[in-house]
Amino acid sequence: MTKPSKTVAILGTLDTKGDEHAYAAKLISDSGLSTLLIDVGTGSAPTIEPDVTREEVASAGRIDLAEIQQRNDRGECVTAMTEAAPKLVSRLAAEGKIHGILSLGGGGGTAIGTAAMRGLPVGFPKVMVSTLASGNTAHYVGTKDITMIPSVVDVSGLNSISRVIFSQAAGAICGMVRTKVAKDIKDRPIIAASMFGNTTECIEAAKTILEDSGYEVLVFHATGTGGKTMESLISEGLIAGVLDVTTTEWADELCGGVLSAGSTRLEAAGKFGVPAIVTPGCLDMVNFGGRETVPSQFEGRNFYVHNPQVTLMRTTPEECAQLGRILAEKVNAYKCPVTVLLPTKAISIISASGQPFYDPDADQALFNAIKVNLSPSIEMIEVDTEINAPEFSEACAQALLKNLG
């Protein structure tokens, strides 16, 4: 009999969730794929025999599991496994020993399982059945393509509901592992672009120019997670150039909005030597949820209700000056070709003349701060248009093509 060519890692706390993982393993084996049971439990002995023991997992992270277990602190044990499991799983994937990963769990199991999954590259099949999948999963998913499936009932034994969920999860991972992704025969280098609804026209026009020049353009929505994901892919060496038109996430980082990408946003391209263009797109707006969710300290500010779930707040001249300085300082650290472009008539659709966020004093404070703080060695281009004008799209695309050489 021919040995199955692909293997699914089934990772779980087998001291308490052994039956569930054994059930999933059987379904996957019955489908013709092989399985590798990995125990990340830290309590009593596993209820089923694992292929990879908890001691082996801990060893991959250079963790003395016995010493930690003696302290009988479950939180410490879970933390240790969240550190060790990614190292083991990423090594197995790099060696071609696993081709997909499935985990089932509650709070601790989800923390460990998704930590392991975040250590794997985008495109590697990942499925997590979790009691926490119906809430905010951002800190579990991070910047990776983890499929989160709500367990509906607790992951605690097999019953008429859980059998359905686990069976479908097993089917999902099998389908992912077997699916052949068509390769682009042109094998085009990739450009990452940041976009918002307020900069869509700019990105779409620039994208066409870059694609006609032989590049593939991946667009990331500047919603915090989008910026983090873009920076992550740049740091992984997957990106040839960066069309960073929409740096709005820094407005949320500075002012406490809900779409911050963190304080390292705008650093990856410079750190990893990826040619880029940078513009202050949508730095006129800070994002909040519904109007009632806006913190009381901002009452009296200029707001624009984008939809019932999204309220935008106009940045002030003082905030814009800080944002201009931050943008310039981030770009000053670039050791690769980079160009800053300024659309002097509007940095978003709604900051144009006659629009709700039109504030020439705030825009000028932003532009002045960029000019004052930007290193003279870095090219800066002022374009006397709005950000979505065809002329600005053309300028962005051509500047990036020039930097790409």
List pLDDT tens digits, range 85-96.
Answer: 999 999 999 999
pLDDT, residue 160, reads 94
Domain with CATH 3.40.50.12020 in the chain: 7-178
Q: For 168-204, what is each residue's pLDDT tens digit?
A: 999 999 999 999 887 654 579 999 999 999 999 999 9
Can you name the CATH fold of 190-404? Answer: Rossmann fold (3.40.50)
Range 7-178: architecture per CATH: 3-Layer(aba) Sandwich (3.40)
Residue 383 has pLDDT above 80, yes or no: yes
- HSE (CB half, 13 Å, CA atoms) of 367? 18
- Report CA-CA distances (Å) from 298 to 51, 251, 256, 303, 313: 56, 14, 11, 10, 9
Torsion of CA 166, 169, 173, 175, to 10 degrees: 110
Q: Rounded to 5 degrees, what angle do the CA atoms 145, 147, 152 make?
A: 155
Q: Does pLDDT of 70 surpass 90?
A: no
Nearest-CA neighbor of 83 among 69, 101, 64, 96? 64
Sign of CA dihedral 38, 153, 140, 121: positive
What pTM value is reported for the model?
Answer: 0.77
Quick: pLDDT tens for 103-158.
999 999 999 999 999 999 989 999 999 999 988 898 899 889 999 999 999 998 99
Q: Which two tokens stand for residue 280?
A: 């202050």
pLDDT at residue 1 greater than cutoff 80: no
Span(s) in the chain for CATH 3.40.50.12030 = 190-404
With tokens 């601790």, the residue in question is 108
Backbone angle region of 282, left / alpha / beta, with phi > 0 → left and psi within -120 to 50 → alpha: left
Lowest mean pLDDT segment, chosen from 66-70, 106-110, 223-227: 66-70
What pLDDT, on the 0 to 100 scale, is given for residue 135? 82
188 token code pair = 């085009």
Q: How many CB atoms lie within 10 A of CB 361?
A: 10
Taken in order 291, 294, 300, 303, the sign of the CA dihedral is negative
Q: Mean pLDDT of all residues in the chain?
A: 94
